[in-house]
């Protein structure tokens, strides 16, 4: 469920003598590498690692291990912390800033998932019931575009946090988020709602790098593993509680969903003012990281300005075309024609620039340049996985609302309560739902977060010795199985089974996809590459939103055949699995040995 922070994971295949500094946030948004005078390997603030080791952050839990994992490693204590040892880490060893930032994380996740888990229901809900009444196509564009930018912004906001200070960035984030959530509940037109939604994404993008960066700076080599384990649990707690509260208050009125989110963020102002202490001094240093450095790294890894202009044009045509398919102004034939014209225009322009004797220093008069094509291809392939993953939030709530009879689950649950004498509780549960006798879609979706809370550590342990490719491949295969189950999702138990199966595929593929990136990047540039891994998540959100809107509108709404829609998503997951297999065999295994 909480893919944003669950995704904060990386692997660093370190050269024998190197220093890896995860500068601002132990996350993909602000990373750099350096090599210094044959000093020992280091990790986060010069914490020591064994030579020739791998550093994993699986599900936001840093697991530092040699290969194979040494016997004195434990997932909560790191090296030399045997589970039965008396030298255990005490919770009192973590400073107040650690607990304050984790508490803020809980409330921020409650705010985000409290809204996002029910966003599909609200955006497409009938106006008479308090919803916006937008089409599925418009809903897909809103969700896809906004979350796309949410995963792009942290590349910049992470650098700004280092430059101006974490506390200032957190204050600015909350200052944006509180009115943004309130405006979401007030704006009823597409342009105004889009603007408010985009402000929420901006605030969340300002918040993300600071939280993880703070935890990395206030823990040490002894407490880091347990510290990030606690953080990961806090993420899931917030992501689990938020939708439950939202499900209760939306039964009163939709406006309370947004008020609740604003209240959760407002609580963070108090925590920030009285308990949070600035953990970084880079903002006061003589050489804080500049945005120019961020942009130069972007060119090296992905491509130059002309390349980004080309991609931005493609995405703009895709988004704008999708927006107007609902009223017949555009068809997919029109979209494909515009895309073909844009591609041809850029190819012709490139040929002209390359053959011209006139050379200009302007970025838009330069020929397109792709950075590392292997990495770019990997991002495109993995965007297929995230496209499928996001259907859990984009599409499944609507499917449950429109096509699933969850009374079987309600009968089973209330039967258990009645069996233990809790008849009053059983009656309350039954009547508290938006539709009496049916389980709210957001509650059913929440089993994903619950599964992650209980099983992620176990799954991570079981796949520790598996190769990243193998784990990703089988994780995607499990995702195919889950979508195949949802093809028959007309009853609550079947949908619940599909969600749980999906969760195990996510727990396998999501962390290992970051680890796999370590095999693509040059050893001395792993951290820099990791800074842009999350752009495949951004693309997956964009493609997932648009595809969700188009397929649900055409097949579920118009044809009343949601099974065909889930079959297509299963086919997309299968195509991703095949692409990962071919990529590993044809690209990774043929890479130069030094990479």
pLDDT tens-digit map of 563-573:
999 999 999 99
- CA separation, residue 77 to residues 49, 88, 226, 228 (Å): 14, 7, 6, 11
CB 26 within 8 A of CB 60: no
Of 41-45, 397-401, 458-462, the range with the highest mean pLDDT is 397-401
pLDDT in tens, 526-570: 666 766 778 888 999 999 999 999 999 999 999 999 999 999 999
CA pair distance 91, 86, nearest whole angstrom: 14
* Higher pLDDT, residue 492 or 326: 492
User: For 531, which DSSP code?
Assistant: T
Which residue matches tokens 């948004």? 29
Instruction: With cut-offs at 50, 70 and 90, classify the pLDDT of residue 518.
Output: low
- Please list, in sequence order, all residues whose beta carbon lies within 8 angstroms of the beta carbon of residue 595, skipping any fewer than 6 positions away: 520, 521, 522, 523
Q: How many CB atoms lie within 10 A of CB 594?
A: 7
- CA separation, residue 16 to residues 33, 429, 536, 595 (Å): 14, 59, 30, 14
**Would you give the distance in Å from CA 583 to the centre of its chain?**
23
Instruction: With cut-offs at 50, 70 and 90, classify the pLDDT of residue 496.
Output: very high
H-assigned helices in 434-491: 441-445, 447-462, 468-486
**pLDDT score, position 406:** 94
pLDDT in tens, 412-464: 999 999 999 899 999 998 888 988 889 999 999 999 988 888 888 788 778 87
DSSP string, 480-544: HHHHHHHTT--BHHHHHHHHHHHHHHHHHHHHHHHHHHHHHS-GGGHHHHHTTTTHHHHHHHHHH
Instruction: With cut-offs at 50, 70 and 90, classify the pLDDT of residue 287.
Output: low
CB 493 within 8 A of CB 405: no
- Give the relative orientation of helices 224-249 and 190-218 as an angle to the nearest 10 degrees: 150
**pLDDT score, position 217:** 80
Instruction: With cut-offs at 50, 70 and 90, classify the pLDDT of residue 26.
Output: very low
Radius of gyration in angstroms for the set of CA atoms belonging to the chain, rounded to a whole number: 24
**pLDDT score, position 514:** 67
User: Exposed, middle or buried by CB within 10 Å (0-12, 13-18, 19+), for 251?
Assistant: middle
Q: How many residues does the chain have?
A: 595
Q: Where are the beta strands (DSSP E) in 130-250?
A: none
Q: Which domains does the chain have, with CATH numbers?
A: 3-82 (no CATH), 92-294+380-590 (1.20.1250.20), 304-369 (no CATH)
The order of strands in the sheet holding 32-34 is 32-34, 19-21, 42-43, 47-48
pTM of the predicted model as reported, rounded to 2 decimal places: 0.79
Mean pLDDT of the residues in the chain: 79
Q: Does residue 1 surpass a pLDDT of 90?
A: no
pLDDT in tens, 143-168: 999 999 998 888 788 778 877 888 89
What is the arithmetic mean of pLDDT over 469-490?
91
CA pair distance 411, 404, nearest whole angstrom: 15
């Amino acid at each position: 469920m909480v893919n944003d922070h669950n995704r904060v994971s990386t692997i660093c295949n370190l050269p024998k003598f190197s220093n890896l500094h995860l500068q601002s946030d132990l996350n993909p948004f602000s990373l750099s590498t350096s090599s210094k005078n044959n000093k020992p390997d280091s990790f986060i603030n010069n914490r020591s690692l064994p030579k020739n080791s791998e550093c994993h952050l699986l599900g936001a839990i840093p697991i530092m291990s040699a290969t194979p994992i040494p016997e004195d490693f434990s997932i909560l204590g790191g090296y030399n912390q045997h589970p039965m040892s008396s030298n255990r880490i005490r919770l009192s060893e973590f400073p107040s800033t650690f607990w304050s930032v984790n508490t803020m994380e809980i409330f921020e996740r409650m705010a985000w998932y409290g809204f996002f888990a029910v966003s599909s229901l609200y955006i497409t809900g009938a106006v008479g019931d308090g919803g916006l009444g937008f089409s599925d196509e418009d809903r897909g564009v809103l969700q896809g575009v906004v979350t796309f930018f949410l995963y792009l912004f942290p590349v910049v906001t992470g650098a700004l946090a280092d430059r101006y200070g974490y506390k200032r960035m957190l204050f600015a984030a909350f200052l944006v988020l509180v009115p943004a959530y309130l405006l979401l509940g007030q704006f009823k037109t597409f342009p105004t709602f889009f603007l408010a939604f985009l402000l929420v994404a901006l605030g969340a993008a300002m918040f993300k790098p600071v939280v993880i960066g703070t935890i990395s700076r206030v823990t040490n080599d002894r407490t880091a593993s347990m510290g990030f384990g606690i953080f990961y649990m806090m993420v899931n707690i917030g992501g689990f509680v938020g939708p439950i509260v939202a499900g209760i208050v939306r039964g009163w009125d939709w406006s309370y969903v947004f008020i609740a989110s604003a209240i959760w963020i407002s609580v963070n102002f108090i925590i920030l003012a009285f308990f949070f202490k600035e953990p970084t001094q880079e903002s006061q240093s003589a050489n804080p990281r500049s945005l120019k450095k961020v942009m130069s790294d972007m060119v090296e890894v992905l491509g130059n300005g002309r390349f980004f202009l080309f991609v931005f044009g493609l995405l703009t045509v895709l988004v704008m075309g999708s927006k107007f398919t609902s009223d017949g102004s555009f068809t997919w034939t029109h979209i494909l024609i515009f895309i073909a014209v844009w591609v041809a225009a850029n190819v012709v322009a490139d040929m002209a620039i390359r053959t011209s004797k006139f050379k200009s220093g302007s970025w838009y008069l330069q020929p397109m340049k792709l950075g590392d094509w292997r990495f770019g291809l990997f991002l495109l392939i993995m965007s297929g996985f995230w496209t499928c993953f996001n259907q859990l939030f984009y599409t499944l709530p609507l499917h449950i609302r429109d096509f699933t009879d969850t009374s079987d689950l309600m009968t089973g649950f209330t039967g258990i309560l009645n069996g233990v004498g809790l008849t009053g509780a059983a009656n309350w549960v039954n009547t508290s739902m938006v539709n009496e006798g049916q389980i709210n879609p957001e509650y059913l979706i929440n089993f994903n977060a619950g599964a992650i809370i209980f099983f992620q550590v176990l799954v991570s342990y079981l796949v520790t010795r598996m190769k990243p490719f193998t784990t990703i491949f089988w994780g995607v295969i499990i995702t195919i199985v889950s979508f195949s189950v949802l093809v028959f999702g007309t009853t609550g138990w079947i949908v619940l089974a599909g969600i749980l199966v999906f969760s195990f595929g996510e727990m396998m593929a999501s962390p290992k996809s970051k680890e796999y990136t370590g095999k693509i990047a040059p050893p001395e540039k792993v951290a820099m590459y990791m800074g842009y891994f999350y752009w495949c998540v951004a693309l997956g959100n964009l493609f997932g939103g648009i595809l969700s809107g188009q397929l649900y509108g055409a097949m579920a709404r118009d044809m009343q055949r949601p099974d065909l829609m889930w079959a297509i998503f299963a086919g997309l997951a299968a195509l991703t699995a095949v692409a990962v297999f071919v990529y590993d065999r044809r690209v990774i295994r043929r890479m130069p040995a030094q990479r």
